[in-house]
Amino acid sequence: MASAGSADVQVLQTTDGIRFGIVGSKPANPGPTLFLFANSLEETLQNSNYNEIGRRLAAHGFLQVSMDLPSHGADQPPERKEFPQALAQPAGTRRRLSDSVLARASSVLRYLIDHGYTDPQRVAVCGTSRGGFIALHFAAVEPRVRAVAAFAPVTDLTALTEFAGMESHARTRALALVQVRTAR
């Protein structure tokens, strides 16, 4: 595993029990924050393939934050579904996506703001592949996100082999990024 600078990941938990990790220290005053989505929180924050942008922005005072994507890290179910397969399940709808990772990310952001880590006017998010998919969905529903970058994002789940035969499934098509409307 490649290192992301100091890459000392601190695993924290929100008051409602959501596990997340940070690289960096709590600033004296709330500062800029970058959410990174790619894999498990540890892999995302420690692997320079996923966190090069976080490492570069850390030099400008950004706190790096991540959490496990669905079916990764501590969110890995015993039957070991991968991310697309987890969304392909009958419950894999925009509501499931919103109720799970997007709502959890908003809760983490609220925690960081409430505890003086994050300036709510200086929040960015990025992600790679499936993490890009989540980053773009998060930016659409979370009005405090001011900037988003997606690296080789999944944009339409029906293009994935795990979704073969679901091209006409309305709830799956609704997750395509072209269908997403922002909360602003």
**Is 23 in contact with 54 (CB distance < 8 Å)?**
yes
pLDDT at residue 104 above 80?
yes
pLDDT tens digit string along 147-173?
Answer: 999 998 888 877 777 777 877 777 777
Global pTM?
0.81
Q: What is the pLDDT of residue 155?
A: 81
Over residues 1-14, the pLDDT tens digits come to: 344 444 689 999 99
The rounded distance, in Å, linking the Cα atoms of 179 and 111 is 29
Pick the CATH number of 9-179 from 3.30.70.3280, 3.30.9.10, 3.40.50.1820, 3.30.1490.20: 3.40.50.1820
Give the span between the Cα atoms of 65 and 142, in whole angstroms.
Answer: 15
What is the structure's pLDDT at 95?
47
108/21 Cα distance (integer angstroms)? 10
Bridge partners for 29 per DSSP: none
| pLDDT tens digits, one per residue of 11-44 | 999 999 999 999 988 999 999 999 999 988 899 9
Q: How many other CB atoms are there within 10 angstroms of residue 17's CB atom?
A: 8
Summarize pLDDT for 105-144 with one digit per residue, the tens.
999 999 999 999 999 999 999 999 889 989 999 999 899 9
- Mean pLDDT throughout 67-76? 69
Q: What percent of the chain has pLDDT over 90?
A: 48
Of 61-70, 76-85, 120-129, which range is least confident? 76-85
Is-contact 45 27, C-beta < 8 A? Answer: no
- Secondary structure of 75-107 in HEC code, one letter for each residue: HCCCCCCCHHHHHHCCCCCHHHHHHHHHHHHHH
